[in-house]
């Protein structure tokens, strides 16, 4: 009979032995969130990756996040539980296509959402995350021409908030685009005092219903501090674990999703984020693979727009 591995204990042991740090995004499964050394949104995670003194970073999130950690800490080993954990936003902006688009607009600067490949970051002037996007866009003069990639929903939201007219790349998050404004309105009718909180990767029809719009950390802080007791949450379902832990007296409902006109229960789970399991996390720490390795020049070129973001959001 195969011996059952105590992943929590083994991960703690290996982490100490190897001087590793475990960085976890809020969209991970509950068990992984519970063993994090640091849990946060994309900005918080990249700030941690930049300043950690661990020898190895274990990144429980998706590949572009682990790549960002590697770019910021190129001399550290960065491993992730599943190399196939991609992102629909990243996929929507292939390097060659984007390069050609950029060449057609030579008078524009490029601001990229961190949810893109390292290669795409090399074509970028400044990176942003959902928590600093408005601030970063506003750091440029009003008449500055800007291409915003790859998320058209986040880009559209920033355009509306700032009164700008950035050129938007046609990408979207496969999770957030399934939230249904109509179904959220119906759910709200059943819970009239519930506040709607939404991630800006959601479509305009959903954002219009929101009492608060922000990054995952922003959403979490908002629900903790709000005097309300019920919330409809329009972002990936993983965040509800932290919300329930932080505010056990409050009620949280995942915003309903629909696909092709039909209700879809699993649509609020990101299939990329949810590839990670405790077993895979344990194995990547034990075997130090899969590891992020990027060409030396790409590490240098992709670092500049990320460092600029960190400076602008300090």
Burial class (CB in 10 A: 0-12, 13-18, 19+), 233: buried
Stretch of residues binding ligand 13P (CB under 6 A), selected from 47-55, 129-137, 142-150, 284-292 = 129-137
Within 131-190, the residues that bind ligand 13P by CB under 6 A are 131, 173
Residue 199 known to bind ligand: yes
Question: Order of strands, edge to edge, in the sheet holding 212-213?
Answer: 212-213, 195-198, 230-234, 251-254
The entry of ligand 13P, ligand SF4, none near residue 42 (CB within 5 to 8 angstroms by kind) is: ligand 13P
Shortest separation between residue 115's beta carbon and ligand SF4, angstroms: 5
CA angle 30, 246, 9 (to 5 degrees): 40
The entry of ligand 13P, ligand SF4, none near residue 88 (CB within 5 to 8 angstroms by kind) is: ligand SF4
Residue 138 known to bind ligand: no
Spatial distance between the Cα atoms of 55 and 190, rounded to a whole number of angstroms = 51
Q: Which of 100, 36, 92, 38 is nearest to 64 (CA)?
A: 92
* Residue 46 within binding range of ligand 13P, rule CB under 6 A: no
Alpha-carbon distances, residue 93 vs 12, 112, 233, 295, 298 (angstroms): 38, 10, 27, 20, 17
* Comparison of 164 and 199: residue with beta carbon closer to ligand 13P: 199
Q: Give the chain's count of helices (H) and strands (E).
A: 15, 14
The entry of ligand SF4, ligand 13P, none near residue 223 (CB within 5 to 8 angstroms by kind) is: none
The entry of ligand 13P, ligand SF4, none near residue 174 (CB within 5 to 8 angstroms by kind) is: ligand SF4
Answer for which of 68, 115, 153, 180 binds ligand 13P (CB under 6 A) is 115
Alpha-carbon distances, residue 233 vs 26, 181, 241 (angstroms): 13, 12, 12
Residue 130 known to bind ligand: yes
Shortest separation between residue 75's beta carbon and ligand 13P, angstroms: 25
Residue 139 known to bind ligand: no
* Comparison of 15 and 176: residue with beta carbon closer to ligand SF4: 176
Which residues are near ligand SF4 by CB under 6 A? 27, 62, 87-89, 115, 173-175, 201, 236, 270, 272-273
Spatial distance between the Cα atoms of 54 and 32, rounded to a whole number of angstroms = 19
Answer for which of 117, 132, 202, 215 binds ligand 13P (CB under 6 A) is 215
Burial class (CB in 10 A: 0-12, 13-18, 19+), 298: middle
Backbone phi, psi, residue 114, to 5°: -55, -20
* Number of alpha carbons in the 13 Å side-chain half-sphere of residue 264: 18
Residue 272 known to bind ligand: no
The entry of ligand SF4, ligand 13P, none near residue 231 (CB within 5 to 8 angstroms by kind) is: none
Spatial distance between the Cα atoms of 147 and 102, rounded to a whole number of angstroms = 8
> Which amino acids are annotated as binding site, given as ranges?
25, 42, 87, 113-115, 130, 173, 199-201, 216, 270
Q: Which residues here bind ligand 13P, judged by CB under 6 A? A: 41-42, 115, 129-131, 173, 199, 201, 215-216
> Which amino acids are annotated as binding site for iminosuccinate, given as ranges?
25, 42, 113-115, 130, 199-201, 216
């Amino acid at each position: 009979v195969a011996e059952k591995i105590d992943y929590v204990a083994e991960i703690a042991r290996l982490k100490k032995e190897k001087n590793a740090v475990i960085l976890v995004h809020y969209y991970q499964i509950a068990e992984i969130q519970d063993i994090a050394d640091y849990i946060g949104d994309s900005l918080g995670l990249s700030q941690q990756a930049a300043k950690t003194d661990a020898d190895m970073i274990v990144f429980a999130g998706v590949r572009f996040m682990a790549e960002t950690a590697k770019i910021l800490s190129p001399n550290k080993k960065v491993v992730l539980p599943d190399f196939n954990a991609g992102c629909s936003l990243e996929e929507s902006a292939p390097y060659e296509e984007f390069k050609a688009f950029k060449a057609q607009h030579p008078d524009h600067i490029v601001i990229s959402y961190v949810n893109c490949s390292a290669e795409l970051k090399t074509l970028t002037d400044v990176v942003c995350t959902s928590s600093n996007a408005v601030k970063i866009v506003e750091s440029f003069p009003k008449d500055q021409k800007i291409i915003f990639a790859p998320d058209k929903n986040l880009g559209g939201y920033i355009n509306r908030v700032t009164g700008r007219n950035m050129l938007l790349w046609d990408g979207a998050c496969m999770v957030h685009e399934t939230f249904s404004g109509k179904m959220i309105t119906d759910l709200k009718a059943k819970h009239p005092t519930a506040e709607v909180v939404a991630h800006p990767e959601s479509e305009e029809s959903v954002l219009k219903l929101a009492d608060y719009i922000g990054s995952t950390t922003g959403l979490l802080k908002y629900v903790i501090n709000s005097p309300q007791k019920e919330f409809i949450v329009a972002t990936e379902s993983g965040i509800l674990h932290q919300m329930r832990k932080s505010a056990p007296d409050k009620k949280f409902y995942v915003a309903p999703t629909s696909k092709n006109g039909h209700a879809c229960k699993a649509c609020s789970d990101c299939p990329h984020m949810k590839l990670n399991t405790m077993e895979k996390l344990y194995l990547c720490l034990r075997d130090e693979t899969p590891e992020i390795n990027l060409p030396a020049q790409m590490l240098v070129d992709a670092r500049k727009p990320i460092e600029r973001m960190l400076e602008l959001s300090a």
